[in-house]
Each structure stands twice: as structure tokens, then as C-alpha cells.
Structure 1
Amino acid sequence: MATRGRPRTFDPDTALRQALDLFWERGYEGTSLNDLARATGIASASIYTCFGSKEDLFRKVMALYGATSGEPPRRALREQPTARAAIHAMLRATADEITRPGAPHYCMLVLAAPTGAVENHAVREFLAGLRRDQLAAIKDRLARGVADGDLAAPPAGLDAVARYYTTVVQGLSVQARDGATRAELEGVITCAMAAWDTLTSASSHVGG
């Protein structure tokens, strides 16, 4: 019996990983469909058929990125026993990920499409939404610390403290992209955690 249609001759998971590597290296606007076709060995028409538009493919790439390089910092927030330990571990996991050998030294959430053409506004807003999710996750972890009793309500408010540490996370990415080493990023993290007691002075007697 004849099979219907042309059989797929590539592995979508492998192609998605190759697309991630290319978007990570070149950014969204620096990556064309022709670039993706060459990197994956797949014709542009097949990319459209399997993944949709370039923007659709990028959104799938970012889901893969979140499940791989983006997971260790989120796991640190979830699994550490206190809010302070969670923030510290999150910062260290972020620094580990953005200085890994063999990968571009930056976070795609921050720098894959910081500016660009008007027609790519939807991509920038998509990434901004992911960064807002990151802020929300940090704020939720601080709120959990308050609920658990290891963190008193910060005088500056949970939102301000969450935004501060979100800013540190994003700044680490810029520093790494500009050549900061893992050891140099650790110095930034040490400074950021030295600010913890000032930002959360009501709970400075509680160990992390």
C-alpha cells in the first residue's frame, strides 16, 4: 500500500536544538530563514511546514531554552528551604548557565531581541512577557518566605526587592556577554547578597 504524502526526513527535536543554537548565537533579527535552513539542513519550506513562521519557531526555541538552560535558576527558587538561600542559589545558577563553555555567554530572555525593527515588536513583547514571568517567580518566592516565617515583610515591599534581584539577574547576563568571567560574576553576587539584610532588615536575625 502506498503511503500518503512525503515522509519527513528530519528529526524535529534535533532541528529545534540546532535552531536554538543559531538564535542563541545570532539573536532573533540576526538569524534568517536561510540561516536556519543551512544550520538544520532542512529546506525553508519544510521549516514552515513543521514549525510555522520564523516567529513561531523562535517561540518554540524559547520553550526549549526555558526547559534546559532556564530551568536551574527556577529550580533553585523552588527547592531551596529559605527565601535568602533561594535567591542566592538562583543568582549562582544563573551565573553558571551564562558562562558555560561551548554556549553563548548571555541569557536569551535578556539579549536575544533587545531592540530592532518595528515588525518584530511582537517578539520583543513576547520576551518581555517571559521576563515579567521571571519577576513574578522571584516575587512569589519572597512571598512564600514571608508565609513560611523565614522572611519578614521587607520595608521596601516585596515588589521592590523582587525587582532589585531581577535586575541583578538581567545585569549578570549583560556582564557575561561583555566578557565577565564566572569568578567576576560571583563578586557581583556577593555584593547583591550583602544587600539582603539592608533590603529585608526586619528579618536580618533569621539565618538563610
Structure 2
Amino acid sequence: MGTKQNGPIGRPRGFDADEALERAVLAFWEHGYEGASTAILTDAMGISTTSMYAAFGNKKELFRKALERYTAGPGGYLAQALEEPTALGVATAILAGTIRSTTRPAHPQGCMGVQGALAASDAGREVRELLIAWRNDSHSSVRERFQRALDEGDLPAESDPALLARYVTTLSFGIAVQAASGVCRDELQAMADAALRNWPPA
């Protein structure tokens, strides 16, 4: 007869899973999905490979959880921007939030969702698909908000909410790429301001 085990078998102990996930976010943000090797991840997280797999599943699952955390944390500006009272306010807040989050001191530059997309091998296919869905979700949220603006008369009747949403999200992802390349915050803000000067008047 076997003895009864107390608690879950194989559960890693001796580390803070929440803190470890936060460190995984930073590792994926800095190195991308493929660039963040298991050794880089476990070193950043301060845990063993066994503990990483026991707590978070495989690397793809860890990335999925890290992306969710990033979206709720540094990427949380999008949800806040969608609450702005006007479409122009939404667009302005999205670009300002992108600039803020991609140029934060003492953090990786750029966007985790963009850096993570630098996965080129077949092994990275699922992650690429995850990130495509992540970007499409962003576009859909902005499109729905701009559709509401059109319905409320905040955008001219001839406006195309889907096109405006694509414009703003493309600018946002472009800002992230430029930030990762070392372009400074002031220059990015000047570009965002210029891009929104021709916004359709209400």
C-alpha cells in the first residue's frame, strides 16, 4: 500500500512564482522568444529548469503567461486609452502610452510583443501565431472603439474605423521598433504628434 502524499507532487518550492514570472517578462522582452534560451530564462528567474517547467509548463506556455502579464502591466495603456472620451483622445493616448512603455528607463526598450515576434524557425510558429492574434486583438479593440466614435458622431460619417484603427496600431508598433533601435522619447513623440495632425475632425 502506498502512503498518502500531502500537497501536490512535484510542486516547486522556495521561490516566488509571481516574481519569477515578472523576471521572465523582462527576459522575453529583452531577448525575444527565440533569443531567450532556457538558460537565460532560468538565470533571470533565479530558478532551476525543473522548477520552471513544474511551475509554468514548457517555454511556450511560459511565454504565453508572460505575454498576458505584459499586456496587463506595461501594455495596460491600451485598455486605459480606449476609455478616452474622443477618438482623437484614444489615438493620442495609445501613441503616448506606447512611447512611455517602450522607452522606460531601466527596462528593455521596445515592446515585448514586437521583440517576441522575432521568432524565425519552425519551432517559433506557435509563438508567431500567438503574437499575430495578440496584435489582431489590439486592432479589433481599437476598431470597435472607433466604430462607437463614428456612431456617436465623434468621427465624420465618411470615416473608416477599421482603417483608422490599422493606422494607429501600425504607428504604435512602428514606434516600438524605433524605440528598440534607440530612437529617443522626444523624437518619437514629435513623430506621433505629426502623425495625428491630420486626424479627421469631428
Whether the TM-score (by the shorter chain) exceeds 0.5 is: yes
Among residues 165, 190, 199, which one is paired with 1:187 in the alignment?
190
What is the TM-score with the length of structure 2 in the denominator? 0.91
CA contact (8 A) 1:73 1:91 kept: no
Per the TM alignment, residue 160 of structure 1 is displaced from its structure 2 partner at its CA by 1.5
Structure 1: any 5+ residue segments left out of the alignment?
Answer: 198-203
**Identical-residue share of aligned pairs (%):** 39
Alignment-mate amino acid for residue 182 of structure 2: G
Structure 2: any 5+ residue segments left out of the alignment?
Answer: none
Among residues 143, 159, 165, which one is paired with 1:162 in the alignment?
165
- Residue by residue over 1:82-138, the C-alpha shift from the partner in whole angstroms, topping out at 9 and shown as x without a partner, is 111111111111111111111111011122123411121010110011000111111
CA contact (8 A) 2:31 2:115 kept: no
Q: Does 1:66 pair with 2:68?
A: no
CA distance in 1 between partners of 2:43 and 2:88 (Å)? 46
CA distance in 1 between partners of 2:53 and 2:119 (Å)? 25
Among residues 59, 66, 86, which one is paired with 1:82 in the alignment?
86
**Alpha carbon RMSD of aligned pairs, Å?**
1.8
Moved more, 51-60 or 81-90: 81-90
- The number of aligned residues is 197
Q: Does 1:129 pair with 2:123?
A: no
CA distance in 2 between partners of 1:67 and 1:115 (Å)? 23
Aligned to 1:201: none
Per the TM alignment, residue 18 of structure 1 is displaced from its structure 2 partner at its CA by 1.0
Alignment-mate amino acid for residue 159 of structure 1: A
Q: Does 1:37 pair with 2:42?
A: yes
Alignment-mate amino acid for residue 196 of structure 1: W
- Residue by residue over 1:35-91, the C-alpha shift from the partner in whole angstroms, topping out at 9 and shown as x without a partner, is 2222222111111111000000000000000010110132112x2111111111111
CA distance in 2 between partners of 1:3 and 1:158 (Å)? 56
Among residues 140, 155, 173, which one is paired with 1:151 in the alignment?
155
Aligned to 1:91: 95
Q: Does 1:114 pair with 2:84?
A: no
2:34 match: secondary structure? coil
Alignment-mate amino acid for residue 134 of structure 2: L
Higher relative CO (Cα under 8 Å, sequence separation at least 6) belongs to 2
Aligned to 1:200: none
Alignment-mate amino acid for residue 106 of structure 2: G
Among residues 173, 178, 181, which one is paired with 1:178 in the alignment?
181
What is the TM-score with the length of structure 1 in the denominator? 0.88
